Amino acid sequence: MLYRKLGHTDLNVSLLGFGASPLGNVFGAVDPSEATRAVLFAIDDGINFFDVSPYYGLTLAEKRLGEALAGHRDKVVLATKCGRYGVNEFDFSARMVTRSLEDSLRRLKTDYVDLFQVHDVEFGDIQQIINETIPAMRQVQEQGKARYIGITGYPLKMLARILETIPVDSVLNYCRYNLMCVDMDALLTPVVEKLGIGLINASPLHMGVLTRQGAPDWHPTSPDVREAAMKAATVANELGLDLSDLALRFCLDHPYVSSTVVGMSTQRQVEQNVKALQSSPHQTIPGALEEILSPVRNHVWISGRLENQQ
């Protein structure tokens, strides 16, 4: 396994991170014992960065991850979040920051997290995030319950604006740097590099789009993107390749991202994704796949409040 420092922090995170949202049945029902096997197998393979949230499966993912990590807490860099608690349930208040972390710690069976993040800032009022949420997170950090703090979300310009206004330790961005979309490097990476903040790239498979099984029904992307990805998966197969391997490898080659976080819930997925990491870097994408994907590249959707899209 390869590790990178997360920005200015002293956290050395695995280049391949374990996204725990599938443990909350977000992509379909998961066998709990298989999920535990996936977590333990990942640790054995050197994956140390685990990302979760109370939102995933409405606390189920945290509970399952907490159970799987029992006796292994010291081997992992554990990240969770606050602020989002349902599809349309948000609370970015200072009071909730404190309560949310206490609840997460109980479910995760630990007395601190390594990284505590505001979940999907674009659903909040930016002034509240800056003046209330983040300062409250600094307070729980001072109490030793979170080692570092960060923000997460989808709209790049809003994330950059927050980072330029108030210091945080990391930013997690999703679906903006992978085979389907690369605008993170134009709109967020330069700011993050300038400030020396840790950058986490989530959803390298575009939340399931870049897989043979395709995206779940709730996925916000357009039918064109789904169709192109399905076609690309078939063509990759005909070439003796796996679209998910190519997609993950593409993300792992990013020069600044500390951890590429992929959602996993089975031992087989962990094995396959670790193998993708061990494959030779800078694999070029076959022309036939590029032809299918480039017309739908950088199609984005609206996430959160309209005023937070810019």
Q: Which stretch binds ligand NAD (CB under 6 A): 122-130, 187-195, 220-228, 265-273?
A: 265-273
DSSP code for 85: E
Q: What number of other Cβ atoms are within 10 A of residue 219's Cβ?
A: 17
Is residue 204 near ligand NAD by the rule CB under 6 A?
Answer: yes
Work out the burial of residue 194: count CB atoms within 10 Å of its CB; fewer than 13 is exposed, 13-18 middle, 19 or more buried. exposed
SS (H, E, C) 32-66: HHHHHHHHHHHHHCCCCEEECCCCCCCCHHHHHHH
Q: Is 56 tagged catalytic?
A: yes
DSSP code for 221: S
Catalytic residue among 55, 56, 174, 177: 56
Q: Which stretch binds ligand NAD (CB under 6 A): 87-95, 222-230, 255-263, 278-286?
A: 255-263
Is residue 250 near ligand NAD by the rule CB under 6 A?
Answer: no
Is residue 308 near ligand NAD by the rule CB under 6 A?
Answer: no
Quote the tokens at residue 253.
């080659």
- Binder among 100, 189, 273, 308 for ligand NAD (CB under 6 A): 273
Please state the φ and ψ torsions of residue 94, each to the nearest 5 degrees: -60, -40
Nearer to ligand NAD, 48 or 265 (CB): 265
Rounded CA-CA distance 180/186 in Å is 15
Are 286 and 239 in contact by the 8 Å Cβ rule? The answer is: yes
Residue 6: which of 129, 119, 147, 130 has the closest Cα? 147
Is residue 24 near ligand NAD by the rule CB under 6 A?
Answer: no
Q: Which stretch binds ligand NAD (CB under 6 A): 91-99, 102-110, 224-232, 260-268?
A: 260-268
Least Cβ distance, residue 279 to ligand NAD (angstroms): 12
Is residue 110 near ligand NAD by the rule CB under 6 A?
Answer: no
Rounded CA-CA distance 36/292 in Å is 37
Is residue 168 near ligand NAD by the rule CB under 6 A?
Answer: no
Is residue 261 near ligand NAD by the rule CB under 6 A?
Answer: yes
Please give the residues from 42 up to 101 whose contact with ligand NAD meets the rule CB under 6 A.
Answer: 51
Nearer to ligand NAD, 136 or 270 (CB): 270
Is residue 25 near ligand NAD by the rule CB under 6 A?
Answer: no
Least Cβ distance, residue 206 to ligand NAD (angstroms): 6
Least Cβ distance, residue 98 to ligand NAD (angstroms): 20
Rounded CA-CA distance 162/177 in Å is 20
Is residue 244 near ligand NAD by the rule CB under 6 A?
Answer: yes
**Position 273: which residue type?**
N
- Binder among 9, 27, 77, 158 for ligand NAD (CB under 6 A): 27
CA 119-102-80 angle, 5° bins: 30
Is residue 208 near ligand NAD by the rule CB under 6 A?
Answer: yes
Are 130 and 162 in contact by the 8 Å Cβ rule? The answer is: yes
Active site residues: 56
- Contacts with ligand NAD, residue ranges (CB under 6 A): 19-22, 27, 51, 119-120, 152-153, 172, 174, 202-208, 211, 244, 261-265, 269, 272-273
